[in-house]
Amino acid sequence: MVKFLFKELISSLFSVFVFLFLMFYAINIFIPGDFLTPLSLMITREELDGLRAALGANDPLYQQYFRWIMSVLSGEITPGGFQRRSSEAITSSIIPTLQVLIPSILLSFSLSKLPALKTSIGRLHKDKIFSDITATLFISLFPPIVYFLVADKVESYYQDIALSLKFKKISTSLLDLSSFQLDIFLLLFLLGLILIMVSFIELATFSLIPKLKLMTGFTIITSLYLYLEEIYFLQLFFETKVPIKTIIVLSVFLLGEYILMNNVVVQNISREPHLLTARAIGYSKSQIYKNHILRNSFGPIAYRLGMNIPYLIASLVIVESTTNWGGLGSLLYITITNQDSNAAMGILFLLALLAIFFRIFISITHKLIDPRLSSNV
């Protein structure tokens, strides 16, 4: 397992190195001006040229890239002397990104399994035309349109809840909590909410209670309620308004892709002979799904999820900019449109690290779940 992990890490680091190299060149060539250009309004041209020479902005790009990599290794991800956004400002937006990314993946991945689960075992190998067309429709939906459809409804739900609870918003009530604590509580709260939401959707679809998900969701929410005072808890609940909108839009964006992926993989696996044998022996649908389809389908799905990471990053940029959620995606959009190349490289570096983390997590889970690979662990 250690050897496997080491191999994965080296391979991913090399990919990230190539990715950052290409993006560094793309950003420095295609974005007009450089990170000192905005100063041209404040200082003279001679002063600007002097500053450029002193900070190495006129050096060849490979030298600047090497300097940037060395700076990243020493802990500073936005080097260059003149910083419009510091490393702290950028790294602090990682948790808001995770607050919407993890629940969105969880929600869309759970929902994407529903069409296959609703189909009888005998028909699994056939085309699922209705769900495929619905998935294509989801992919075609433009995020601002989804946001336009969703935002008002979410807003009215929150207003109804605030009225029913007779809640008066006290904006300073959360000041006692540090921003890190608040971010972590918000992440947990959102995870709990999404788990409960998924459980209720599964309950409505199959008339079966998904005990583990429901219990985990309720445990998280109850623990937060018991740990925090009521006013903090309510304030935390109302803080979830914008992330919930972002999660819904991002989930719709990802759902179509995941449904198509799941349908194709399940369709291919259900043609394999071991499934026919399981049906002939008389296994129940849930047994066949859990022991044969789910475990065997994880490999191809994990591979496609790994390939899908750039799509995930692009989705983050588009959706966060639409909903004005302050994660890495919207920050990247702002930095690129403001020609802040240093900050953009810093954000891309963090997104690449996030991609590595997801890739390694998917690979390890694949190795643990897939019976053909887990025997070698």
Partner 1 sequence: MYSYIFKSTYRSFYGKIGYLFLFILISLSFLHSYLLSSEIWSQSIYDPIVGFDVEIFPHPTPPSSTHILGTDPLGRDVMSMFMAGSRPLIQMSLFSFFIGLFVTLFTGTLIPFLFKKLDLLMREVSSGVILMPPPLVLLILGTGEFVDKLSQVWLDQYMGYSPV
Least distance CB 317 / partner 1 (angstroms): 6
User: Residues 24, 31, 116, 346: which binds partner 1 (CB under 8 A)?
Assistant: 31
Q: Residues 107, 146, 265, 318: which binds partner 1 (CB under 8 A)?
A: 318
- Angle at alpha carbon of residue 195, lines to 324 and 247, rounded to 5°: 15
Residue from 127, 155, 176, 229 in contact with partner 1 (CB under 8 A)? 127
Does 317 participate in binding partner 1 (rule CB under 8 A)? yes
Q: Supply the minimum distance, in Å, between the C-beta of residue 354 and partner 1.
A: 11
Rounded distance between C-alpha atoms, residue 240 and residue 236, angstroms:
7
224 binds partner 1 (CB under 8 A): no
**C-alpha–C-alpha distance, residues 204 and 209, integer Å:** 9
Handedness of CA 315, 321, 327, 331 (dihedral sign): positive
**By CB under 8 A, residue 357 contacts partner 1:** no
- Nearest partner of 242 among 316, 171, 155, judged by Cα: 155
Query: Are 249 and 147 within 8 A, CB to CB?
Result: yes
We find the least distance from the C-beta atom of residue 322 to partner 1, in angstroms, to be: 13
Name the residue with tokens 């991913």. 12
User: Where does this chain touch partner 1 (CB under 8 A) — which range of 19-27, 114-122, 193-201, 367-375?
Assistant: 19-27
Give the whole-angstrom CA distance, residue 283 versus residue 264: 23
The Cα 131–Cα 112 span in angstroms is 10
Distances (CA, A) of 334 to 34, 36, 326: 15, 17, 10
Of 33 and 81, nearer to partner 1 (C-beta) is 33
Q: Is 264 in the site for partner 1 (CB under 8 A)?
A: no
Residue from 4, 8, 11, 59 that binds partner 1 (CB under 8 A)? 11
Q: Judged by CB under 8 A, does residue 14 bind partner 1?
A: yes
As a whole number of angstroms, the distance between CA 86 and CA 107 comes to 33
Question: What span, in angstroms and rounded, lies between the C-alpha atoms of 339 and 35?
Answer: 7
11 versus 291: smaller Cβ distance to partner 1: 11
Residue 355 binds partner 1 (CB under 8 A): yes
Could you say whether residue 313 binds partner 1 (CB under 8 A)?
yes
Helix, strand, coil share of the chain (percent; to 5)? 80, 0, 20
Among 6, 62, 206, 311, binds partner 1 (CB under 8 A): 311
Among positive and negative, which fits the CA dihedral 238, 204, 293, 132? negative
Q: How far is the CB of 332 from partner 1 (least distance, A)?
A: 8
Contact between 75 and partner 1 by CB under 8 A: the answer reads no
Among 223, 307, 324, 374, binds partner 1 (CB under 8 A): 307
Size of the site for partner 1 (CB under 8 A): 35
Which residues in this chain contact partner 1 in the complex, by CB under 8 A? Answer: 11, 14-19, 21-23, 26-32, 127, 129, 132, 307, 309-311, 313-314, 317-318, 332-333, 336-337, 339, 352, 355
